[in-house]
Chains A and B, each alone.
Chain A
Amino acid sequence: MPYNAGKFDVIVIGAGHAGIEAALASARLGCKTLCLTVSMDAVALMPCNPAVGGPGKSHLVREVDALGGQMALSADRTYIQMRILNTGKGPAVRALRCQSDKKLYQAEMLRVLQQQKNLMVKQALVEEIILKGTRVEGVLTQTGALYWAPVVILASGTYLGGRVIIGELNYSSGPSGFFPSNKLPQQMKANGIKMVRFSTGTPPRVDKNTVDFSAMTEQKGDEGELYFSYMSENLNRPNVSCWLTYTNERTHKIIKDNLHKSLLFSGEIKGVGPRYCPSIEDKVVRFADKESHQIFLEPEGLGTAEMYVQGMSTSLPEDVQLEILRSIKGLERVEIIRPGYSIEYDCLVPTQLYPTLEHKQIEGFFSAGQVNGTSGYEEAAAQGIVAGINGARKVLGEEPVTFLRSEAYIGVLIDDLVIKGTNEPYRILTSRAEYRLLLRQDNADLRLTEKGRKIGLVSDERYEKYLKRKKMIEEEMEKLKTHRVKPGDERVKMLLQKKGSAPIKNSITYAELLKRPELDYRDVLEILPKAEDVPKDVLEQVWIELKYEGYIKKQLAQVERFKKMEDKKIPDGISYRDINGLRNEAKEKLEEIRPKTLGQASRISGVSPADISVLMIYLEQKRRNEKKGGVNE
């Protein structure tokens, strides 16, 4: 029999990467928050690769951090290797990626959650979201507990209708053997929520003690104090290696000979998988002329012998997986600890959401993370904090907070999801950000700390640190723009000669000197007075802003144009079907997505520039009509 189990402000379903950020944000903003997880052992689980970050992803992690989120801090405290990616490819796309100790990461997150004021984490399988009309009221668990709250945030990852596929075997399950949630998706569909079925895969984990590393190439992490969070320092993390090996023709033959044993490959299972994460069988078939593919072995933690076999995602039967692995150099005697598998799951069609991640039809119902059709821990965390913030603000009666594409990757991610939708599990990429040069991971704090402070998630300590850094950057910039280099300066002459740079005739500022393409800021450092007093990250910031000033200005001008359209609000309740002159496709799409601004409308696929013109005329017509005194349309 169901029983009353308590009242809360916000209930979060799921304690994965989205649920954690949502629950913490909500609790930190003062809302009495309940976080329900299928299993206490699944809190902050990394069911796929033991890594955080990468291009676009590390941008998200830093943005979540600048807003006062948790992922960066916990990742920093538990990593066992850190690397800087894309070093030579430019400031916008430089990125951090770490190898995490999975168990440590979970333990660290659980500690943070359990110490958080206003937050209660419990184990429960939610079977029903209780609705009253079009409003959310609470949840019902498998064991009959009724929890009440005006805001429910669904962050259930791949657990909804989860089905695991290994070869010809397939069974109902959540990731890593946890329970799936089968009743909830049914109830959601019954309430008119549109769902799609996606799939994703994970490779086998192997026993480190059965691997011959001498036949592989070692890949070390980078040295130095490298952290995601602006707050992390002196954590003294280890630097454990990953290992590189390759598949070969024999591997490919085994795969081809066994393709018929994959349910996924024979097309019997219909979930749409991500193109950026193909299974090894996919790769071998689609790129038949490639003689080998890279395989990375990544440690899953310090306290385990399990290693993640990156590049080997597969849904072939276990015995075939073993045969494949053993055909690879260094893995001749390998033992599998857990086989790879594919998982199919239900997710919400994200165009049903507002940019606050609240559902358009059901008030108080938010969703975040993989259940919104994304993939990746970082994408989940980013949505989690946004849902948490807005859920809490709803309870507190405050205005919602959203992010523009021009201000954060978080904005790009959510705008893509709710305006364009996705037909495969969505992954953030730097190429999705049209103002990429402005949205760097090195300036995430400058972009977002102020906003996070206003929201109420940025601690005094973090805020002061930010203000200090900002001031130093401004001072340093000023210095470079006003201090002048004299033509007679011997050190300068030498430097220019060494770099093959033309000698200066009249005195110029350091800033002007720095803009010469052949000069690096480290060169100018050598001749800059008192540079040693300035932290490296400050110098870097100043250097980027100066060096790429022209391009940054160009992007800022683009942002101005973008904002103009974003500022043009579309009032609620427009009946697009009745607007003459819109093409039918545009009418349908606009009805479905119901954009809030003309900018959003213009990004919907199927809405043409001419449709936008028509919409502008219509809105103006409506405005003038209303001014004239409420004539009906």
Chain B
Amino acid sequence: MEFDTIAAISTPLGEGGIGIVRISGPDALSIAEKIFNPKVKKNIRELKSHTLTLGNVVCPNTGEVIDEVLLSVMLSPRSFTKEDVVEINCHGGIMPLKRTLEAVLDAGARLAQPGEFTKRAFLNGRIDLAQAEAVIDVIRAKTEEGLKVAVGNLEGSLSRKIKKYMDGITDILARIEANIDFPEEDPEAFISRDELYEMIGEIAKEIEEFLREGERGKIFREGLKVVIAGKPNVGKSSLLNALLKEKRAIVTDIPGTTRDIIEEMLNMGGIPVRIIDTAGIRKSRDKVERIGVRRSEKSIEEADLVLLVLDAVTGIEKEDEVIIEKVKDKECIVLINKTDITGKVNIPFYEKATGKECIGISAKKGIGLKEVEEKIKERVFKGEINTTRPLITRVRHEQALKKALASLNESLEACRDGLPLDIIAIDVREAWEALGEITGDKVEEEILNRIFEEFCIGK
């Protein structure tokens, strides 16, 4: 077999929260075997090709049940990729879907690159020659999509962390390599085994803590990022409170009440939603408010969905137009608030003016909120909002961190066993490269740059 075994979420969450994890490659069956307990007492290899089997996905490390799923085996060559393929239909929502994928990866599959299934299908002769251009388009489009998320994340804590760990590992490698390649040239570059052990241990510990924290869900908190935006005093905070059914944000009739981002989790019919209230966007002299506005704008950029709130009483003003322009290219629903005062509003007028779908609501009286929820769910299920894309990005980051951690731990063991520098370097380098796959950087150049920055090398 030419290729290794890959896995990914192949379709986003559909109606009723169903999503599919697909595994393809020579080890697809043996990997599935490790994580799947069929209800009928049968080995995976005895299952009939192209039929569904009910069972549980279990965590290969702990044995804990993750989700009840339907699994189907499609044996080579009668599959999409012409390789052995296993598809796992999860229906417990986003978290079980993600955990199922992780279980598959922990059991030995590699997370697929964007468009990789399609690429294999073509290279293995499943897809017709005439479709080659289309295949290239898929790869290109999916890669670009992935990049967008990565860039969005770059400012996020996740990528910042990865950069930070890489930086630390680069330091270690630069020390090791300066020692090896320029012996005796800069005594300051010298590193003792103990120092090395300490440096590696520190980063390993940080990564470990970070990953553990991630499991509790703090930074890796999943969910659709829904941002409430609008000019001041339109009722954004009131909407947040209404959706949460609690008085979370301060509501006053003074424009500019909310100064900073307020973020809460919400379960909308099985979809975890991160709902974010922002400061009203307007030109302001107040320094604090200006910072708040900038944060609002950034939130809008990172949002999966924007709820743009307009005031039915004032209608569309200059300030609104500025914001409408900002959300032009975003997935967005426009809410015309305070209809309890004005009565029914002219929806077609607003839709024409904003170019988006509009709903009349009253945050204060709770009118139209059900409809808002329905509309959000609809968009997710229709696939207009891709909930799995950021999820895959996260799995990719976590997976890379896990690999890096494993390598660092091996290098620590090598240190303890008193193995020499060049051996220790192998594992440390591997840790770096696991993270480098995400950022697309090349280890060798980074090490050399760091060596020449830090140490006075030279005859």
Contact = CB atoms under 8 A, between A and B. Distances in A.
Given A49-B459, A431-B180, A617 B123 contact: yes
A488 interface: no
B458 A93 contact: no
A30 interface: no
A432 B139 CA distance: 31
B119 A613 contact: yes
Interface stretch (B181-189, B219-227, B356-364): B181-189
Nearest to B183: A85
A188 interface: no
A614 B458 contact: no
Given A86-B180, A290-B456, A617-B123, A431 B448 contact: yes
A390 B420 CA distance: 38
Interface in A239-261: none
Interface in B118-142: 119, 122-123, 129, 132-133, 135-137, 139-140
Interface in B94-139: 113-116, 119, 122-123, 129, 132-133, 135-137, 139
A89 B123 contact: no
Interface stretch (B229-237, B310-318, B439-447): B439-447
Contacts of B329: none
Interface in B410-426: 417-423, 425-426
Contact of B180 (A430, A434, A548, A625): A430
Contacts of A625: 129
Given A93-B421, A581-B139, A613-B113, A430 B119 contact: no
B179 interface: yes
Given A276-B458, A614-B140, A517 B419 contact: yes
Interface in B172-213: 173, 177, 179-185, 187
Interface stretch (A2-10, A170-178, A604-612): A604-612
A617 B459 CA distance: 49
7 contacts: A89-B420, A89-B422, A282-B458, A290-B456, A294-B184, A610-B113, A613-B139
Q: DSSP class of B's interface residues: helix, strand, loop or mixed?
A: helix
A92 B177 CA distance: 12
Given A89-B422, A617-B132, A618-B136, 19 more contacts: A55-B180, A55-B181, A86-B183, A276-B458, A277-B458, A283-B458, A287-B456, A290-B456, A293-B456, A294-B184, A310-B459, A430-B180, A431-B181, A431-B447, A610-B114, A613-B115, A617-B123, A625-B129, A628-B129
Pairs A-B, 5 closest by C-beta atoms: A90-B420, A90-B422, A517-B417, A581-B136, A610-B143
A327 to B, nearest CB: 18
A437 B180 CA distance: 13
Interface string A400-438: 000000000000000000000000000001111010110
A483 interface: no
A118 B159 CA distance: 62
A429 B178 CA distance: 10
Interface string A615-633: 0111011001100100000
A286 interface: yes
Interface residues of A, number: 55
Given A283-B458, A614-B140, A617-B119, A431 B133 contact: no
A105 B123 CA distance: 56
Contacts of A294: 184-185, 187
Contacts, number: 133
B243 interface: no
Most interface-central of B419, B423, B456, B458 (chain A CB within 10 A): B458
A573 interface: no
Interface of B: 113-116, 119, 122-123, 129, 132-133, 135-137, 139-140, 143, 173, 177, 179-185, 187, 417-423, 425-426, 440, 442, 444, 447-448, 452, 456-459
Interface in A89-135: 89-93
B139 A555 contact: no
Interface of A: 49, 55-56, 85-86, 88-93, 275-278, 282-283, 286-287, 290, 293-294, 296, 310-311, 313, 429-432, 434, 436-437, 517-518, 548, 551, 554-555, 580-581, 605, 608-610, 613-614, 616-618, 620-621, 624-625, 628
Nearest to A293: B456
A429 B449 CA distance: 13
B177 A431 contact: yes
B132 A311 contact: no
Contacts of B181: 55-56, 93, 429-431
Nearest to A286: B456
B457 A551 contact: no
Nearest to B146: A610
A93 B418 contact: no
Contacts of A429: 177, 181, 448
A54 to B, nearest CB: 8
A551 B123 contact: no
B140 A581 contact: yes
A413 B116 CA distance: 33
B129 A92 contact: no
A580 B129 contact: no
Contacts of B139: 581, 610, 613-614, 617
B426 A554 contact: yes
A283 B456 CA distance: 7
Given A86-B180, A88-B420, A437-B422, A275 B143 contact: no
Contacts of B185: 294
A287 B458 CA distance: 12
